[in-house]
Amino acid sequence: MSASDPQTSSAQSNVALGVSGGIAAYKAIEVLRGLQRAGCNVRVAMTKRACEFVQPLTFRALSGSHVIVDDYAPDNPDPIAHITFSQTVDLLIVAPATANIIAKFANGVADDFLTSTYLACTAPVLIAPAMNTTMLLHPATQRNLERLRADGVHIVEPDAGEMACGTIGPGRLSEPDQIVAAALEILRGTQKKDLVGERFLITVGATREEIDPVRFISNRSSGRMGFALAEAALKRGGDVTVVAGITTVDPPAGAKIVRALSAAEMDQAVARESKQASVFIGAAAIADYRPSNRAEQKIKKTEESVTLTLERTPDVLANVAASRTNGMLVIGFAAETENLIANARKKLRSKKLDAIVANDVTRSDSGFDSRTNAITILTAQNDEPVELPTLSKNEAANRILDVIVSLRS
């Protein structure tokens, strides 16, 4: 694998997507598309009840393959499809998984194509339950879920919220990108520990530059991408320290967290922590400017206009790159609104980075606080851009780490 061709083990994986009969069946379309964007070949199986919510033609058009509902149907090209379908895939996903299908799986009932496929499947199985809150919490459903866990089935827990029936509580199908992220993690198999020995230092989130005691300059960064990188690095065997500004998502367990609210505080924290790091990733959205003079008291609304004089903040990324020792890799981010590649390439070269991850933050699927990211990666070895499809931030994180592994090799 070269730095210009980042891949994951999910590429070209064969995935079976089972769709059972619930109102959330339409979200399986997004699961299918997400898997395809990650490079998976996807075939679809549906229960008869699922066809009352979404027509098989929809999945056939998107997957390019025959959608199996009844293996005895005259249009089924494979007379033993439940065997060949289930034993030629790397993963079986069922989303949504209704209380009925969960009960059948847990008790070995095989009265249709999807349940027969489950019993014949030799690949890992991932289910995403979706049902009314009362049904989910019923002792029978909970007992069935526990039995499936004991059988080794992976479960993406349902979300809490308002459902189609008006009930508010747990039971809503998890977001499609979360289901895709869980699937891709399973497809990597036993997670490669290819980052053992690497000590990561990652900046995350937004900084705040105070104008007065109640006002500040900041941005909309949530920290989601940086924390995804931290979590992925931990799973692949790395030691991770995060210098975090303002974030709206929770950090992963296992990472050392150092809080720094302003650019100056982040610069100082990074200077301390970088002495032990072997890889630095600057994923934080650090303010470029701060007020030259912070008002000691709240500025009153007495004038028609107020002029703020701003000064440059420390360039954390450039400082790390300039002071690096012992073969540290330095990876930057370029969040741009125009001239994406030109600006990213300029930053890569001027700051002497090993790689840079560029994204267009004007896009709805790649901006601040989105659950997905459309990134382009350039490296110092080969600064020709490698544009990746829109991915979940967890999957994008692993693509970036793949490049780091390649740079090390």
Looking at the annotation, which residues are catalytic? Answer: 165
User: Inter-axis angle of helices 139-150 and 99-107, to 10 degrees?
Assistant: 50
Q: What is the dihedral of CA 264, 238, 394, 90, to 10 degrees?
A: 170
The C-alpha atoms of residue 46 and residue 40 are separated, in whole angstroms, by 19
> For residue 107, which amino acid is it?
N
The C-alpha atoms of residue 306 and residue 36 are separated, in whole angstroms, by 52
Nearest Cα residue to 70 out of 39, 42, 46: 46
For tokens 């053992």, the residue is 196
The C-alpha atoms of residue 154 and residue 286 are separated, in whole angstroms, by 38
Helix (H), strand (E) at residue 96: strand 91-97
Structure tokens at 214: 């109640």
Burial 189-221 (b: 16+ CB within 10 A, else e): eeebebbeebbbbbbbbbbbbbbeeeebbbbeb
- Tallying the residues shown for the chain, one arrives at 409
The C-alpha atoms of residue 214 and residue 216 are separated, in whole angstroms, by 7
Cis peptide leading into residue 96 (ω within 30°): yes
Burial class (CB in 10 A: 0-12, 13-18, 19+), 37: middle
| Cβ pair 200, 233 in contact under 8 A | yes
State residue 202 phi and psi, 5-degree precision: -125, 130
> For residue 224, which amino acid is it?
R
> For residue 319, which amino acid is it?
N
Nearest Cα residue to 226 out of 387, 38, 397, 348: 397
The C-alpha atoms of residue 1 and residue 11 are separated, in whole angstroms, by 13
